[in-house]
Amino acid sequence: MALSFRSSKYLLITLNLLYLVIAFILVGVAAYARLSIYVTSVHIVGGIIACGVFLFVLAVAGLLGAIKHNQPILFFYIILLFGLFLVQFSVACACLSLSSDYQQILVETAWKQSSNNSKLTVMTAFKCCGFSRSDLSSSAALGYPPCKLAKLSCCDTPEGETAKCCQGSDVGNSTFCPCTTACWTVIQERLSTGVRVTGATSLFFSVIELLGVWTALRYRHQRDPLLDPNSVL
């Protein structure tokens, strides 16, 4: 019984130390994403940081509950960790079941709602011109600003100096676009990879969290064999 109690205790401590590492990684990734040019949404970064802070607080509570064998702390720890498991598992299922067609619908919707500055940021980052079609003006739903503003090398060619996709529909007079790489072509590949990695990672962490729930639940109902029963009375 002593070995079982100690094993549960040390396993729970190890799992919460792992949660602490994951929390620091989440906050670090959010900080890197905010400084990079790929993620400009404050809401996305704030959500990642909030998840990291929540997991950090939960891991600290789990460590205190495991070290002190505190029943109330372990009780609330189990409830919150199980709730986090449900969210994490739902995210994993959603990512792994997201089809390429639905991914395109989501990205198209985001592109339509984005400003020209946001579109220009994407075009500069991925070295692409337009979303999927090069014959659209900036006022169209899937339109885009002149690709020369993204400093693309294809717009520095003689064809690019007269192309509408590079100079804009008001300046350019040629419908031929020397820039052959559309943004959706680049985004699709990276998004598909990112969704699969996110889904697999979320599924792995949800299993780890479920293991933490099971360990904490078992540890909470065990009695410390080194504790004198008379001292409780």
Torsion, CA 159, CA 164, CA 168, CA 173, rounded to 10: 90
Model pTM? 0.73
Give 2 or 100, the one with higher predicted confidence.
100
CA 100 to each of CA 105, 107, 198: distance values in angstroms, whole numbers, following the listed order: 9, 11, 15
SS3 content of the chain, % helix, strand, coil (to 5): 70, 0, 30
Q: What is the DSSP letter of 228?
A: -
Picking from 92, 119, 90, the residue whose alpha carbon sits closest to that of residue 187 is 119
**Residue appearing with tokens 């619908």:** 105
Q: CA 85, CA 210: separation in Å to the nearest integer? A: 6
Which tokens go with 165?
């996709």
Predicted pLDDT at 199: 83
Q: CA 214, CA 206: separation in Å to the nearest integer? A: 12
Average pLDDT, the chain: 82
Task: Reply yes or no on whether the pLDDT at 4 is more than 90.
Answer: no
Over range 54-67, report the average pLDDT: 92
Does an H or E element contain 118, and which? helix 116-126
Identity of the amino acid at 99: S
Which tokens go with 92?
């994993």
Predicted pLDDT at 1: 42
17 falls in which pLDDT band (50, 70, 90)?
very high
In this structure, are residues 74 and 216 in contact, taking their beta carbons and an 8 Å threshold? yes
